[in-house]
């Protein structure tokens, strides 16, 4: 939406950060405006229009604001600025560069440019004069932190254009003209390296968006082994306070097979976000050998920053992801936490006196969450290249109640559910993902099943289902033992319990502080799972339940030593040989063979 004659207005009412404005002309939904308050200009967004009044949510504190203040409408929606220089940046929810701001607390009305306008980039053209292009086509590229950053035909252009001229390889700033395009009517369009795009409108420059089918390797065993997520897939991590949502997100960010990592800290406590700012610059990137922050962008809108901007922050992050996806890159987008985004929606809905839904959330919460999650995905671009956004959000349900509206509606939208268990966290079983309640709907897709069989063997899905059966059987045996006592159940119940514990300790639990165990390649996951399942299939003969526990504790310790050793190394093989000797102590078949000899 663009307008030549800008509309103005006057503040007539104020309810916290909801401001009622009397307007003198047309305004549109989601249009941006600035409210003049002394020397400050406060940014706001139109969220409702009634007659000649516009209701706007202000992205700043409205303390001291009075009726009569002047309002200038900009004629466009809330936009992000896209171009080289966004990696390694720390932005707020409105894409202000936090590193350019001064003071401990952000000053009201202080807005900064997200890009460095003076830095020069080495531009290399990818197309020549006379080539026909459409929106999203790659004109050239610059290198940013060893990552190819494609300069594209502006997304807002419609129809086919011809390249009238294109810059030669050389050093340019983001505002320098790098190409001139001409439409079929002979009109010229000057193109530089900067684009602007409204955050609540998806970038659609791809020709096809198929169902995700490629496995995304995260290095986290309880995800890759039992409930895999696809490249371009969606998942969410609900769990009570202290169960490790943020730590799990950090682990996935560091280890997942992605080119670009975008972290949206949406309403998280400021101290947790400070840890991200401090830790990420120090983390080594296992994929490049450099620092992880070099391919990371952080969008921070903490709990003590404006609530209204909390909603904008997730859309800002997603739009940046779509921009990089249009370059043919794999993007991993993490949002922490979407519960607080939903709380911001609830707050504005209540102030607008809309009809409330469950727990006073908006009636259309389900549609809002679904529309947002649908912006992720795997795409084929116009040049046959592929790009993807894999989105994983966290949900912080009040009191750990997974039946509350945000969790329930997110469950409908996301394809992977990684529920964190308070019991597992309390017993230090990390990651605390509940292996029985969690699921991946992508396992139902024949395309992913083929991909898994290709990488992990034709019996992979069968082994996954078998593993879950053993875990469920072990849980039932544990409940019986707790009710009837150790002596009140057959030894078989103890075996079922300990075989489930074997899988839990060796496959599901992972040491994020160990250099080797922190990330497990798929080949190693396959090998260790098959080894553990072979043990679970073995019949053992014990005299009493104490013998069962002691034996399986030794097995668990031996297998964990294997997890801490380099795969297929001499040390690994030594532990494996010792393990085989241990198994022979109580295995029924081994005893029969010895007696026969």
Binding residues: 239-246
Whether the Cβ atoms of residue 383 and residue 208 lie closer than 8 Å to each other: no
Nearest by Cα to 563 from 524, 513, 522: 524
Report DSSP letters for 235-253, one per residue. EEEE--TTSSHHHHHHHHH
Please state the residue numbers annotated as binding site for ATP: 239-246
Whether the Cβ atoms of residue 513 and residue 548 lie closer than 8 Å to each other: no
Cα dist from 496 to 151, 484, 531, whole Å: 58, 16, 17
Whether the Cβ atoms of residue 310 and residue 301 lie closer than 8 Å to each other: yes
Residue partners of 498: CB distance under 8 A and separation at least 6: 474, 548, 549, 552
Which class for 502: exposed (0-12), middle (13-18), buried (19 or more C-beta within 10 A)? buried
What's the CA gap between 538 and 441, in Å, rounded? 31
What's the CA gap between 517 and 430, in Å, rounded? 12
DSSP assigned state of 222? I
Whether the Cβ atoms of residue 510 and residue 220 lie closer than 8 Å to each other: yes
The DSSP element (H or E) to which 497 belongs, if any, is helix 491-503
SS3 34: strand
Count of CB atoms within 10 A of residue 511's CB?
13
Whether the Cβ atoms of residue 415 and residue 373 lie closer than 8 Å to each other: no
Specify the pairing of strand 416-417 against strand 234-238: parallel
What's the CA gap between 562 and 578, in Å, rounded? 11
Whether the Cβ atoms of residue 78 and residue 312 lie closer than 8 Å to each other: yes
Count of CB atoms within 10 A of residue 445's CB?
18
Whether the Cβ atoms of residue 67 and residue 77 lie closer than 8 Å to each other: no
CA 80, 81, 83, 84 dihedral sign is negative
What's the CA gap between 317 and 122, in Å, rounded? 26
Q: Which ranges of 303-445 does DSSP label H, i.e. alpha helix?
A: 307-325, 338-351, 365-373, 405-413, 422-426
Nearest by Cα to 539 from 497, 500, 475, 586: 586
Specify the pairing of strand 79-82 against strand 18-23: unpaired
């Amino acid at each position: 939406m663009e307008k030549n004659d800008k509309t103005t207005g006057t503040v007539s009412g104020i309810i916290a950060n909801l401001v009622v404005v009397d307007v003198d002309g047309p305004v549109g939904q989601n249009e941006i405006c600035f409210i003049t308050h002394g020397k400050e200009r406060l940014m706001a967004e139109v969220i409702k229009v009634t007659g000649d009044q516009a209701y706007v949510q202000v992205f700043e504190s409205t303390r001291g604001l009075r009726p009569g203040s002047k309002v200038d409408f900009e004629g466009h929606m809330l936009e992000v600025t896209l171009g080289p220089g966004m990696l390694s940046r720390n932005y707020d929810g409105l894409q202000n560069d936090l590193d350019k701001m001064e003071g401990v607390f952000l000053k009201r009305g202080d807005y900064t440019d997200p890009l460095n306008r003076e830095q020069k980039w080495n531009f290399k053209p990818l197309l020549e004069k006379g080539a026909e292009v459409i929106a999203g086509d790659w004109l050239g590229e610059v290198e940013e932190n060893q990552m190819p950053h494609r300069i594209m035909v502006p997304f807002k252009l419609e129809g086919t254009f011809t390249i009238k001229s294109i810059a030669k390889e050389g050093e340019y700033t983001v505002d320098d003209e790098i190409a001139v395009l001409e439409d079929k009517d002979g009109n010229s369009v000057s193109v530089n390296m900067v684009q602007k795009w409204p955050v609540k409108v998806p970038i659609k420059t791809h020709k096809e968006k198929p169902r995700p089918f490629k496995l995304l390797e995260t290095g986290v065993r309880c995800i890759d082994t039992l409930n895999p997520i696809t490249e371009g897939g969606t998942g969410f991590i609900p769990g009570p306070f202290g169960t490790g949502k943020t730590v799990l997100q950090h682990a996935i960010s560091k280890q997942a097979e992605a080119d670009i990592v975008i972290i949206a800290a949406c309403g998280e406590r400021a101290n947790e976000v400070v840890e991200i700012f401090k830790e990420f610059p120090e983390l080594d990137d296992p994929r490049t050998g450099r620092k992880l922050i070099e391919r990371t962008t952080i969008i921070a809108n903490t709990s003590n920053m404006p609530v209204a901007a909390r909603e904008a922050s997730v859309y800002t992050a997603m739009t940046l992801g779509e921009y990089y996806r249009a370059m043919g890159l794999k993007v991993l987008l993490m949002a922490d936490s979407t519960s607080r985004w939903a709380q911001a929606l609830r707050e504005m809905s209540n102030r607008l006196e809309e009809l409330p839904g469950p727990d006073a959330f908006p009636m259309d919460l389900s549609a809002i969450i679904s529309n947002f999650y649908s912006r992720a995905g795997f795409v084929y671009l116009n040049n046959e290249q592929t790009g993807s956004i894999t989105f994983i959000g966290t949900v912080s349900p009040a009191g750990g109640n997974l039946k509350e509206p945000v969790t329930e509606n997110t469950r409908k939208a996301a394809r992977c559910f990684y529920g964190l268990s308070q019991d597992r966290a309390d017993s230090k079983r990390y990651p605390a993902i509940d292996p029985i309640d969690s699921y991946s709907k992508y396992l139902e897709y024949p395309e992913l099943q083929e991909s898994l069989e290709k990488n992990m063997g034709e019996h992979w899905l069968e082994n996954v289902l078998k593993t879950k059966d053993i875990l469920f059987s072990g849980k039932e045996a544990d409940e019986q033992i707790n009710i009837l006592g150790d002596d009140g159940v057959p030894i078989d119940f103890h075996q079922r319990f300990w075989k489930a514990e074997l899988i839990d300790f060796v496959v599901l639990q992972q040491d994020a502080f160990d250099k080797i165990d922190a990330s497990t390649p798929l080949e190693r996951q396959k090998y260790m799972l098959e080894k553990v399942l072979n043990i679970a299939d073995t019949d053992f003969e014990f005299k009493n339940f104490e013998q069962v526990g002691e034996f399986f504790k030794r097995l668990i310790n031996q297998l964990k030593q294997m997890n801490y050793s380099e795969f297929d190394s001499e040390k690994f093989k030594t532990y494996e040989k010792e393990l085989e000797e241990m198994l022979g102590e109580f295995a029924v078949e081994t005893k029969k063979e010895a007696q026969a000899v």
